[in-house]
Structure 1
Amino acid sequence: MTTANRHYVLAAGGTGGHLLPAFALATELERRGHHVALITDERGAEIPGKPDFLPAHVLPAGRFRKNPLHWFKGLSAVLEGRRMAMRLFESFQPSAVVGFGGYPSLPALLGATSADIPCVIHEQNAVLGRVNRLLSGRVQAIATAYPDIERLKPRHQEKVHLVGNPVRAGVLTLRDEPFPAFGEDGVLRVLVTGGSQGARILSEVVPDGLAMLPPALRQRLQVTQQCRPEDLDAVRARYRNHQIPAELATYFEDMAARLADAHLFIGRAGASTIAELTAVGRPAILIPLPIATDDHQAANTREMVKAGGARMIRQERFTGKELAKQIMALADDPQGLANAAHAAWNCGRPKAVQDLADLVESFGGADLMDVIRVGGNNERGASQGAPAGQGAAREASK
C-alpha cells in the first residue's frame, strides 16, 4: 500500500500496557515514511522502549476518582490538556489521532474531535476501557484485540475493526518455530511470571502446587519464575525443599528466549501476555488479577480458554491442589500439551501492527478500508490467518 508521507499523533496512558502498542504502531508508521508524535503523561515519557525518533509531548490529563471533590481539579487538567493538544495539532497537522486508552489520551482525543481530525481508538483488552468507552461515539474507528468486547454499545459495532495486539518483534519471530519437543521422559519447562515485579500469590502457591504433581512428572520439572525481591529467598527455599530445580529472578531480560523454551506458562492475563502467548503458541494457566478494572483480565482469557489453549483459575480458587489439577489436565500426556499449544497459536494475530497501521493510514487518503472489518466469514481479521498449509505444517511439526 503506497501512501504519501503524513503526520499522525498517538495518545496513550502512562503504563506499558497502553504504550507498548503505541510504540509498535509508531515504528511501523515511521517505517512507512510517516511522521509520528506521542502524547502521554510524565510517567509515559519515561517508559523504557520508546523509539528514538518519537517525540513525546507531556500534557496534563487529570483523573476522576470516586470523591466528587476531586472532579473539578480533574476537569481543569483535562481542559488545559485539550488546549495544549489543539495547539500541537495546529503546527503538526495530523491526518489522524490514535488513542490507546488511559486518562492521558483523553485531552488529545477531545482536542482532535473538536478540531475535526479523524480519530481511531485501540482497545488492548476484552473490556472497553473507561476513556475509550467515553469516546467511542465520537471516533471514526475502534480497533480491537478480541472478537468479543464487553462494554461496547451495539450502535458502535459498525466502527469495529479486529486487529489484535501488537507483539514485540523478538517474540513474533518465534511464531513459525515448532513447539519444544516434549516426550514422556523429557523435561517439562514451566515459566511463571506475574507482571513487572512478579505476583506474591504465585510465589506462595506455585511451588507447593508443582510439588503435588505425581512423582513421575514432578521429577521432570524445570521452573523459571519471576518473583518480587522480598520473596526470592522464601520461594527458593520452597523449591529446594520440594527438590524441584528452579531459576528465580526479579526480572529476565531475555524473556523471549524463556518463552521460546517453555512448555507451559503460569501467570496473569494482561493483554500483552495473552498476545505473546498466542503469537508463539504456548499453553497457559492464567490467574487474572482480581482488582483489574472491570475484571478485564478475566475477560482477556475467554478466547484462549474456549479454544483449549489455556485454563483460567480465579485467584480466590488458586490453591496448590487446584493448580496441580489443571496442570495434569493440560500435561497428562505429551500430545495433549502439544494440542493445547496449537490451540493457543490459532488464537494469535501476528499481523496486528500491520493491520492497525493500514487502518490508520486509511485516514487522510483513501476511503476507510473494509478489509479488516469484523464480520463475514473471518472473525479474526483479514490478514491474521496462516497462509494455506501453514496450520497443517504447524500441527505436523508437533
Structure 2
Amino acid sequence: MVPAAALAQELTRRGHRVALVSDARGVRFPGLFEGVQTHVLPAGRFQVKRPQGWASAVREMWRGRAMARELYRTFRPAAVVGFGGYPALPALLAAFADKIPTAVHEQNAVLGRVNRLVAGKVHAIATSYAETQRLPARLAGKTHLVGNPVREAVLALRARPYPLLEEDGIFRVLVTGGSQGASVLSKVVPDGLAMLPPNFRRRLQVTHQARIEDIDAARAQYAEHHIAAELATYLPDMPEQLAWAHLVIGRAGASTIAELTAAGRPAILVPLPSATDDHQTANAREMTAAGGARTIAQGAFTAVELAKQMQKLGLDPEALENAAGRAKSVGRPTAVSDLADLVESLDAPLARLPVATRQPREAFA
C-alpha cells in the first residue's frame, strides 16, 4: 500500500485524479490515502492449503470484477495500476474486459502470484530490483526497472548526513518487524544486545516496534539487562526514527529495504522464512551484496550470532558509515517519478503534453 500511496500522491501533484480500489484489508492503513477517492470491492483469497475455498474465492473475485466494470462506466479511468495481491485482481480483470491500459508494479525481488497471473496481459510491468525472479524473459520488452516508491518524508532523509557517531557517544538501534512486528526479534534482540561488551552496551539506545503480545516480555528483558529501550506496537514517526538510527535490525520486506536504501542506513536483516516464494531472502540480496547489510537466516538468528554481527559493525564507526553509504548506493530515489512517467506513457497523448497544459485524467491504483 505504501508504493501505491506514493504513486497516488505523485499523480495527483501532476494534476490527475486518482482513486484507490481494494478490498476491506487494503483500506485499513491509516494516513496513506487521505483525500483519495476509495472504493472497496470484494476479492476472493486463494489459499494453497485450502482448495475447498477456491470456488467461493472465484465467485467473490467475479463479483468484484463486475462491480469494477460498473465503476469504470462513471469514473472512466485512463489507466489501471495493480500492486500485486488478490485485492488488485478484480480491478485488473475489469480493465482487461474494458480494454483499459494496465500496468503492474512488483515490490519484491520475486514476481508475486497475482502479478505472474496477469503479466502476459498487462501493457507494462514495473520492477523494483534489477533481477526479478519468476519474471519470464519473453516479457523483457515491457518490463521497466523503476524501484520501490517510498514516502516523501523518507526520501528527504537521503539529503541528510548519516548521524554522527562518536567513539563514546550514543549508539541508536532501531528494531522493526514491519507493520505487523516480528516475534523472533522481540525474543532474540534483547538477549543479543546484552552479550555486547559493557562499554558498548552502555551506549545503546533502542527503539523497538513489537507485537502487542510480545511487548511486555521484551520490555522486561531490556530492563533486566539494563539496556535503555523504548517499545511500541506502532511507530507513527518512522521516518524520524530512521533519521536518527545508526543501525536497523529488521525483516527484509520490500518497503523496509526501499526505505533503508533511500535513507542510507546499514542493517541486520532477518528475512521472514514463511514469505511466499521466500521473497524476503531475495529482497535482501542486493543490499547485502553491496555491503549495506548483513543477512541472517531466521534459523541462525541467535543472541550469540546477533552479538557477533553487532560487534563487527558497531565497534568501527568508519565501517558503519561506509555501510550506510553502500546501502544508499543501491537506493532508487526517482522510483515514484519514474513509475508515474510509466503510467502516463500508457496514455500517450497525455504524456506528450507539458505538465502545465495537461487536462486532469483519472487512474486507479
1:253 aligns with 2:260: no
2:5 is matched with which residue? 23
Aligned to 1:42: 24
1:106 to 70, 83, 89: 89
CA RMSD of aligned residues (A): 1.7
Q: CA deviation at 1:238?
A: 1.9
User: Counterpart in 1 of 2:66?
Assistant: 83
Change in CA separation of 1:216 and 1:257 when aligned onto 2, cut-off 3 Å: same
Q: Is the 8 A contact 2:123 2:346 kept in 1?
A: no
Q: CA deviation at 1:258?
A: 1.2
Kindly report which structure 2 residues correspond to 1:1-398, keeping only aligned pairs within 5 A, or say none.
Answer: 19-66=1-48, 67-366=50-349
Deviation at 1:367, TM superposition (A): 9.9
Secondary structure, counterpart of 2:36 in structure 1: coil
Choose 98-107 or 237-246, whichever is displaced more: 237-246
Q: Distance in 2 between matches of 1:203 and 1:45?
A: 28
**Unmatched segments (≥5 aa) in structure 2:** 353-365
Aligned counterparts of 1:158 and 1:238: Cα–Cα separation in 2: 53
More helix by share: 2
Compute the displacement of 1:197 (Å): 4.2
Q: Is 1:305–1:311's contact at 8 Å kept on the other side of the alignment? A: yes
Per-residue CA distance 1:70-128 (angstroms, 9 max, x = gap): 22222222222222222222222222110011101111111111222111000111111
CA distance in 2, matches of 1:237, 1:72: 47
The gaps in structure 1 that reach 5 residues or longer are: 1-18, 370-398
Whole-angstrom CA distance in 2 between matches of 1:236 and 1:59 = 40
Shift of 1:214: 2.3
The answer for the alignment partner of 1:379 in structure 2 is none
The aligned amino acid for 2:329 is N
Would you say the 8 A contact 2:344–2:350 is kept in 1? no
Q: Which range moves more in the overlay, 232-241 or 95-104?
A: 232-241
**Structure 2 CA distance, aligned partners of 1:85 and 1:153?**
28
Counterpart of 1:49 in structure 2: which amino acid?
Answer: G
State the alpha-carbon separation in 2 of the partners of residues 129 and 210 from structure 1. 35
Range with greater deviation from structure 2 (101-110 or 69-78): 69-78
Pair 232,77 (structure 1): closer, same or farther in 2 beyond 3 Å: closer
CA contact (8 A) 1:288 1:314 kept: yes
TM-score (norm: length of structure 1):
0.84
Match of 1:381 in 2: none
CA contact (8 A) 1:95 1:118 kept: yes
Separation in structure 1 between the aligned mates of residue 22 and residue 149 of structure 2, nearest angstrom: 19
How far has the Cα of 1:230 moved from its partner?
3.3
CA offsets 1:282-319 (integer angstroms, 9 cap, x no match) = 00001111111111111110110000000111111100
CA distance in 2 between partners of 1:68 and 1:198 (Å): 29
Q: Secondary structure at the match of 2:159?
A: coil
- SS of equivalent to 2:110: coil
Describe the superposition over 1:236-255 as per-residue Cα deviations: whole angstroms up to 9, x where unpaired: 22222222221222222222
TM-score, normalising length: structure 2: 0.92
| 2:95–2:101 Cα contact (<8 Å) kept | yes
**Helix, strand or coil for the counterpart of 2:95?**
helix
The aligned amino acid for 2:24 is E
The residue type paired with residue 248 of structure 1 is: L
Q: Confirm or deny: 8 A CA contact 1:359 1:368 kept in the other structure.
A: no
Instruction: State the one-letter code of the partner of 1:253.
Output: P
